[in-house]
Structure 1
C-alpha cells in the first residue's frame, strides 16, 4: 500500500495551452474525455475553460453572410435567423441596414 501525503500539485496553464486543448476538443468526432485523458485533466476542466474563454476571446472570426430575398410571413418581412455552432442563434430584423464590402464602417 502506498501512502501519499503532502499538497497536491496545481498546474498553471497558459492561455495558449488552454486554447490548443480546446481546439483539439472541438474537432469533429473527438470526445472531450479522450482529450482530457491525453492531457491528464478532468473533462469538467475543458468545459470550464470553454465557458470562461468564450466570454473573453478577442480573436473572433467573422464570416461573410449573403442575405437573399426571403418569403414574407403574414405580410411582414421574415426575421433572419442564424444558427451558431455553439447552439445559440442570432435573430435580426429583415430590414437590417446592410453594408457592402468596402463600405465605411
Structure 2
C-alpha cells in the first residue's frame, strides 16, 4: 500500500536555526556522502544545502587585512599612459572585398577610399 500525505491548511515556510543548518552542512560535508541523500533525509532540496553552504561560509570567514602604503599627493589623479588599441570598423563592399578602417577616420577620406577599392 502506498503512503499518502494529506496537507490541510496553509503550508508554512520552515525556519531553520543556525545550529540545525550547520549540523546538516556537516553531514553533507562528510566523505562519500551525496548532497541529494542528505537533502532527502531532511526533506529539503539539494539547492537549499548549497545556498546555506554559500551564505554561511561568507559570514564565518575570518577577517583579513591588506597592507597599506601611503603615497605622495603629487602622484594622485595621474594614471599611467596606456596605449589605446584603435577601434577598427569592417566594411563589406559590393564587389565582395572587405575594408578595415579606424573608427575615427574622416568621412571624406573614407568615401574616397571606398571609391578607389570598388574601382580596382
Q: If the length of structure 2 is used for normalisation, what is the TM-score? A: 0.44
Q: If the length of structure 1 is used for normalisation, what is the TM-score? A: 0.49
